[in-house]
Chain A
């Protein structure tokens, strides 16, 4: 079944949620592996998100302008002798999309049922 344009998949909502949650620790930006780890920890899962699933979702979110990314300066990676990271950040549009998706995904409680009926 083809999904609606702009509709978010659970993994995409999880990425946005984890990205927003990182702000609590004053880490505005995150790289792919870090967010995979956050998602695993939040979900209490055993396995990390597969690379194909993760980067496809990240690319799509960036395409929807819900995320923005930049390649870290080469000097930072060279100092630590590692490949350069692509750093992502949730945009304002991403925050709004996450808020909207969270409402839709919230479990139905008597309170939300009443609100819906009203």
Chain B
């Protein structure tokens, strides 16, 4: 077997896995470990191929060796990391990871499934809600709860990370983020309750249906309002964290413009809502999307800051 085979799936998996668990270590250590793995995989393929083993079998053997050794790899990394943990994983990087997690959590926790809470035709809305399968409601609620926990943990970690730069602003941001987390928990509970009541409504008699209709509508009105407040507090948290990160150049300078355009979009949306124009939602969505873009780029930049041991550049050379 020629060296060409070293480009196949199992080789890539082994090498990328080695590249992943060596992230943050010195370039020499990474190069050494990835070199060991590349050589090992090549020798394994060549040797087994010479013995007449089929290509799929060799791939399976290699996968097995990677998977069985994964725990040792992580333990090796932790042992190597222990004396220098503070150096290689400063809390700012953890903050970056949380920014990235927030990008994933925000759409799940704040997404309003488009409840039409207007009095007219609310029966149809309830029937639509009742049509959602029980497991879907459970999964959605569970995801929201996880998102709530991410926000609470994020509030604490980001506050610790950014407190040295601006104690008051970081506290405001942390309180806003923690409040969002709590509201997400409440939204999750309200959504589950509303879904249950929608089921009851569909199965109820004419005597009780009016009361259920009214009660469920109230719940959904509260849920919608809470979602809006949660969106606002999340935006406040992100703007506060962003202002600290930008002022202290923890993130690329050009991100300031993303923030400014986001603020402008949200401000325009407020004005348009006050006027009563329907296009206000377009500006709300643009403003929030730009906030998510900010979180994504800022998070990436904090985790993989240029020149740091986390920098992704060596991977291209090593792999």
Contact = CB atoms under 8 A, between A and B. Distances in A.
Interface of A: 31-34, 36-37, 47-56, 58-59, 71, 81-86
B71 to A, nearest CB: 7
Interface stretch (B30-38, B106-114, B128-136): B30-38
Most chain A Cβ neighbours within 10 Å, of B32, B39, B71 = B39
Nearest to A48: B65
Nearest to A32: B40
Interface residues of B, number: 30
B75 interface: yes
Contacts of A52: 66, 68-73, 76
A59 B67 CA distance: 19
Given A81-B3, A82-B3, A86-B32, A51 B69 contact: yes
B69 A84 contact: no
Identify the 10 closest CB pairs spanning chains A and B, nearest first. A52-B69, A50-B69, A52-B72, A33-B43, A50-B68, A52-B73, A56-B76, A83-B39, A83-B38, A53-B72
Nearest to B68: A50
Given A52-B71, A58-B36, 6 more contacts: A47-B64, A51-B73, A52-B68, A55-B76, A82-B46, A83-B39
Main secondary structure of the interface of B (DSSP, over half): helix
A59 to B, nearest CB: 7
Interface of B: 2-3, 6, 14, 32-33, 35-40, 42-44, 46-47, 61, 64-73, 75-76
B46 A55 contact: no
Contacts of B3: 81-83
A84 B39 contact: yes
A82 B73 contact: no
Contacts of B2: 81
Nearest to B67: A50
Contacts of B6: 83
Contacts of A49: 65
A36 B43 CA distance: 11
A31 B67 CA distance: 21
Most chain B Cβ neighbours within 10 Å, of A37, A48, A54, A71 = A48
22 contacts: A31-B40, A33-B40, A33-B47, A34-B43, A47-B65, A49-B65, A50-B64, A50-B65, A51-B14, A51-B65, A51-B66, A51-B73, A52-B69, A52-B71, A52-B76, A56-B73, A81-B2, A82-B3, A82-B43, A83-B3, A84-B39, A86-B36
